[in-house]
Amino acid sequence: MDRQDPKRGRLLPAPENFLGAPGQARRRALGNLIAGGAALLGARALHAAGAPADPAHLPPNVPPWSQVLGQPVGANPYGVPASYEKNIIRRLSPGLTTTKHSSVAFTPLQNLFGIITPNGLHFERNHNGRPDINPYEHRLMLHGLVRQPKIYTMEDLLRFPSVSRIHFVECGANTAMEWGNPAVPTVQYTHGMLSCSEWTGVPLSTLLDDAGFDRAKAKYILAEGADAASLTRTIPIEFALDDVLVAYGQNGEMLRPEQGYPVRLLVPGVQGISNVKWLRRLEVGDMPWNTREESLQYSDLMPDGSSRQYTWIQEAKSVITSPSGGQHLLDKGGYYEITGLAWSGRGRIKRVDVSTDGGRNWRTATLQEPVLSKALTRFRIDWTWNGDPALLQSRCIDETGYVQPKMRQLREVRGTHSIYHNNAIQTWAVDAEGKVHNVQV
Amino acid sequence: MDRQDPKRGRLLPAPENFLGAPGQARRRALGNLIAGGAALLGARALHAAGAPADPAHLPPNVPPWSQVLGQPVGANPYGVPASYEKNIIRRLSPGLTTTKHSSVAFTPLQNLFGIITPNGLHFERNHNGRPDINPYEHRLMLHGLVRQPKIYTMEDLLRFPSVSRIHFVECGANTAMEWGNPAVPTVQYTHGMLSCSEWTGVPLSTLLDDAGFDRAKAKYILAEGADAASLTRTIPIEFALDDVLVAYGQNGEMLRPEQGYPVRLLVPGVQGISNVKWLRRLEVGDMPWNTREESLQYSDLMPDGSSRQYTWIQEAKSVITSPSGGQHLLDKGGYYEITGLAWSGRGRIKRVDVSTDGGRNWRTATLQEPVLSKALTRFRIDWTWNGDPALLQSRCIDETGYVQPKMRQLREVRGTHSIYHNNAIQTWAVDAEGKVHNVQV
């Protein structure tokens, strides 16, 4: 490999189209590297990174950017990513929904590290567009089975005792296309309605106490958004009294507009739609509301024709984000780090196993600390690809002992007409040329 | 308080000038609220948030943004904050340095929640401006006391096994102005060279093994940046073999340009300058290099005229971020949450105490989990302001038992000519009108 004149073309982003899966340039670049050899580091078959140093190479030669003053400090009072990262963006649904006001923009999981999703890349799912809310005029009403109905301003909410916690949010329809044959090529589209942030807000239990809710009769809460959809969802009171937040902060700053600015519900471990954005009303009641979004939508059509309703919890699930669909491994015999994400709506991830032969043999991956309840957990495991076709899978187990199911197991119970709550094991096939494809086994 | 016609003027940002301390609007807004009474919630004197609901109020009335379709999904492939948050920005040094290419932009700590700093608001300190580096052409050289010198491309670095960890970065000169009389009015300027992110990269120890460093002779590493300053710093080999990262990821995405894109050193717990940005060279040696940035600069002038050199570690420190300088409490007898940040370069924070009477009486604050090593820790404690002048202080203790010193204690040892490593207890004075000032006691 000529390092003096690097083959820049190999790293250029793919054309901006759906099958080209732009935004994978960086991670695919990992696979594109043709190694110069193999170095052993302890028991690890490490990629032979780093050519021997040559005096003709940089450094000690001085690159152009070392020879001129850079941009002044504070040139961006609010910073933005490097121009070279311009293809690392949310991408619109490839056709799941019909209008841009009721659509999805997916998080580029294949390009992300760690567990925190930067706010600019948090997935977006709206039902009637994203409202532009004036926080000075916004109000949150709390009424129903309470002693004293309340109307809170944002000032009020910011005055209450607060808590911060790192939690994932996953749309109930994440991985929906995979109920049928694999239809989308990349992890951004198979699993990208998934993000994780440090959320800050007021415990909902604090507000319920403030209004004096009826402890004997209260069984459910209705949450309503201020968007044009006036989206409504029922939340069991047990959740409300446990860890639900009325959240205004996301990764240190105020919520982003598409995440519910200025205030949203955060229902840890529960499907995205229950985390009602642009929250304007909370009603305490004694039975579920059976709203449009929990009857016509967001219910599961079962094999016997019945409808599974109120499926709140996102069960344990994992996915390998690299190598993943659309990437290309060129380094036969080379080291690859297999990495991905695991999460459970019921608590902490206990273990993640990884297979490279379609589930016949499993090895246990390393979990990145801290492993937090109802948060994404990053896993990693070493792999030396021998150049033969491989089937990559991850399988997680949460602290309740629940084991992530195979697609076949899920279909046996749920049939093939579901849209929601597909938490099956994902398979990525590496072909003999190193190209990675979305398959089902 | 008329909720139908909220007094919006009270929430408008202050004029854009230094003393006006813009960007404090939101948190100051907390203090501006005149409560309608007091409600007791358990043992807590909760602010009487939320007026009784009135049918004339919103909701159930329908605000304008509920009556029209909002912005389409994906309108921002890479999202940005709400327009109402436009004053929550990094702010340039009020005169500490002379040119914009060798200056500081401070993080608005008074406006932030939790422990994660959003990438757009991470503090910025450069010595010769921010270079615009082409990641395809960037190289990292590793040489000196090694068996095989190496030159790594970014592709190489991304191929190595990775780790992610949440750590703070604090400039050694943070709180520098406070060695004299209080000179700056807000926590953004007193403590804003402080941020915290989830960093991802390759352990430096992995690269040292890859190059085969000389275990018998290697005592120090020199790290050099690719910026116009070619900034260089010495790192002890013990740090390098412990938890130092060659980092390319920040809060899930690639480093921001002002944070060292495409690769930087991350030396957990060590002063900011050692976390060399735009990293282009690492040299293994047997003695410290005594570079410009560790002799003329970044050394402490002691009372006896000697110079304290190589003061790597950021000792335990804490600060109250709300209420803090420039904010205004209007609610006599009202509830306020006192909140702030604590951190230690030596490990975990064990305890934070808070005083409202200038250090005569202390109460122990609640620490937000997870409490992580060498990371910011958010603390909170309830406070009902009786309307009398108050002196707010926080004092932290880390897991080594080290107690954050008073300013007087620090001066006894270090004199008054220092610039660096001021980790003294910060005092905010609340006057009888509720205005908060930076004072020393």
| Two structure tokens written together for B355 | 């005083």
Instruction: Output the six-digit token pair for A221.
Output: 């809460």
CATH number of domain containing A431: 2.60.40.650
Q: Does A238 touch chain B (CB under 8 A)?
A: no
Asked if residues A48 and A37 have their Cβ atoms less than 8 Å apart, the reply is yes
Ramachandran quadrant class, A257 (left: phi over 0; alpha: psi -120 to 50; beta: rest): alpha
The answer to whether B280 faces chain A, any CB pair under 8 Å, is yes
Say if residues B201 and B244 touch (Cβ distance below 8 Å): no
Residues A221 and A271 in one domain: yes
Contact between A426 and A319 (Cβ < 8 Å): yes
DSSP-derived 3-state class of residue B159: helix
Q: Note whether A163 and A301 are same-domain residues.
A: yes
Q: What is the pLDDT of residue B60?
A: 64
Cis peptide before A108 (omega within 30 of 0): no
pTM for the full predicted model: 0.90
Give the C-alpha distances (Å, rounded to integers) separating A25 from A22, B361, B395.
Answer: 7, 57, 47
In a domain, A28, yes or no: no
Q: In what order do the strands lie in the sheet with B363-364?
A: B363-364, B349-355, B390-398, B427-430, B436-439
Q: What is the pLDDT of residue A60?
A: 62
**Mean pLDDT on A142-163:** 96
**Is any Cβ of chain A less than 8 angstroms from the Cβ of B301?**
no
Q: In terms of CA atoms, which chain B residue is nearest residue A54?
A: B151
Higher pLDDT, A34 or A232: A232
Neighbours of A147 (CB within 10 A): 8
Question: What string of DSSP letters covers A352-384?
Answer: EEEESBTTSS-EEPEEPSP--TTS-EEEEEEEE
Average pLDDT over residues A88-114: 88
CB contact under 8 A, B158 and A53: no
CA-based nearest residue in chain A for residue B4? A137
Amino acid identity, position B399: E
Instruction: Tell me the percentage of chain A whose pLDDT exceeds 90.
Output: 74
Which ipTM was obtained for this model? 0.90
Residue A274 φ/ψ, nearest 5 degrees:
-75, -15
Choose the weakest-confidence range: A179-183, A335-339, A399-403, B250-254.
Answer: A179-183
Residue with tokens 């959809």: A229
Last residue of a domain, one of A280, A308, A336: A308
Strand partners, A335: A384
The answer to which of A217-221, B89-93, B360-364 has the lowest mean pLDDT is: B89-93
In a domain, A16, yes or no: no
The pLDDT value recorded for residue A7 is: 27
Q: Which residues contact A366 (CB under 8 A, 6 or more apart)?
A: A379, A380, A381
Burial classification of residue B67, based on how many CB atoms lie within 10 Å of its CB (0-12 exposed, 13-18 middle, 19 or more buried):
exposed
3-state secondary structure of A346: coil
pLDDT in tens, A19-74: 223 333 333 333 332 222 222 222 233 444 566 665 555 666 788 999 999 999 98
Q: Is B78's CB within 8 Å of A121's CB?
A: yes
pLDDT band at residue B339 using 50, 70 and 90 as cut-offs: very high
Mean pLDDT on B386-394: 97
In the structure encoding, which two tokens stand for residue A278, read together? 């642009």
Q: DSSP code of A97?
A: S
Q: What is the pLDDT of residue A52?
A: 66
Pair A141, A288 in one domain: yes
Distance, in Å, from the CA atom of A264 to the CA atom of A285, rounded to the nearest integer, reads 20
pLDDT confidence bin for B296, thresholds 50/70/90: confident
Distance CA(B65)–CA(A136), nearest Å, equals 13
Place of tokens 């710093």: B233
Instruction: Tell me the average pLDDT across B5-34.
Output: 29
Torsional sign, CA B152, B154, B155, B156: positive
Q: Does the pLDDT at position B413 exceed 50?
A: yes
**Most confident range, picked from B32-36, B299-303, B310-314:** B310-314
Residue whose C-alpha is closest to residue A336's, from A30, A94, A38:
A30
B37: pLDDT strictly greater than 50: no
For chain B, report the end-to-end CA distance as a whole number of angstroms. 37
What pLDDT is attached to residue B32? 30
- pLDDT at site A58: 60
Q: Do B50 and A151 touch (CB under 8 A)?
A: yes
Tell me which long-range contacts B90-97 makes (C-beta under 8 A, separation of at least 24): B90/A74, B90/A76, B90/A77, B90/A78, B90/A79, B90/B121, B90/B123, B90/B124, B91/A74, B91/A77, B91/B23, B91/B188, B91/B189, B91/B192, B92/A73, B92/A74, B94/B18, B94/B184, B94/B189, B96/B173, B96/B176, B96/B177
Report the side by side order of strands in the sheet with B377-384.
B317-322, B335-343, B377-384, B366-367
Is the Cβ pair A228, B67 closer than 8 Å?
yes
pLDDT in tens, B397-412: 999 999 999 999 999 9
* Pair (A422, A283) in one structural domain: no
Element (H, E) at B250: strand B245-250
- Reference B423, options B316, B270, B302; nearest CA is B316
In the chain, the amino acid numbered B315 is E
pLDDT of residue A249: 98
| Residue B90 contacts A where some CB pair is shorter than 8 Å | yes
Confidence of residue A306 (pLDDT cuts 50, 70, 90): confident
- State the average pLDDT for chain A: 87
Same domain? A295 vs A337: no
Mean pLDDT over residues A82-108, rounded?
Answer: 88
Contacts of B99 in chain A (CB under 8 A): 72
Q: What pLDDT, on a 0 to 100 scale, did the predictor assign at position B435? A: 96
Instruction: Pick the residue of A5, A28, A113, A124 with the most B CBs within 10 A to test the interface with B by mutation.
Output: A113
Residue A271 lies in a domain: yes
What integer is the mean pLDDT of A307-336? 93
Q: In this structure, how many other beta carbons lie within 10 angstroms of the beta carbon of residue A60?
A: 12
For chain A, what is the domain count? 2
pLDDT at B5 over 90: no
Instruction: Tell me the per-residue pLDDT of B315-330, one tens digit each, with 9 for 90 and over.
Output: 999 999 999 999 999 8
Q: Does residue B293 form part of some domain?
A: yes
Q: Which chain A residues are within 8 Å of B78, Cβ to Cβ? A: 80-81, 88-90, 120-121
Distance (Å, whole) CA A301 – CA A418:
5
Q: Each residue of B80-117: pLDDT tens digit?
A: 999 999 999 999 977 656 688 989 999 999 999 999 99
A116 falls within a domain: yes
Kindly give, in sequence order, each residue whose CB lies less than 8 Å from that of residue B296, ignoring residues fewer than 6 positions away: none
Residue corresponding to tokens 């707010």: B392
Cα distance from A147 to chain B (closest Cα, Å)?
10
Question: Under a CB-based contact definition with an 8 Å cutoff, are residues B186 and B325 in contact?
Answer: yes
Taking the C-alpha atoms of residue B358 and residue B430, their distance in angstroms, rounded to an integer, is 11
Length of chain B: 441
Cα–Cα distance for residue pair A279/A273, rounded to 1 Å:
12
Residue at B206 is within a domain: yes
Interface test with B, best of A253, A258, A283, A371 (most B CBs within 10 A): A253
Stretch (H or E) spanning A408: helix A407-414
**Rounded Cα gap, residues B319 and B423, in angstroms:** 9
Higher pLDDT, B181 or A213: A213
Which residues on chain B are in Cβ contact (under 8 Å) with A6?
136-137, 153
A1/A363: higher pLDDT: A363
Q: Do B159 and A337 touch (CB under 8 A)?
A: yes
Quick one: average pLDDT of B111-138?
96
Kindly state whether residues A145 and A166 are assigned to the same domain.
Answer: yes
> Quick one: which H or E segment has residue A37?
none
Please determine, for residue A363, whether its predicted confidence score (pLDDT) is greater than 70.
yes
* CATH number for the domain harbouring residue B207: 3.90.420.10
DSSP calls for A183-247: ---SHHHHH-SEEEEEEEEEEHHHHHHHHTB-TTT--EEEEEESSTT--EEEEEHHHHHHT-EEE
Residue B328 lies in a domain: no
Mutate to test the interface with A, among B4, B113, B139, B164 (most CBs of A within 10 A): B113
Any domain includes A328? yes
Domain boundaries, position A369:
317-439
| A38 touching B (Cβ < 8 Å) | no
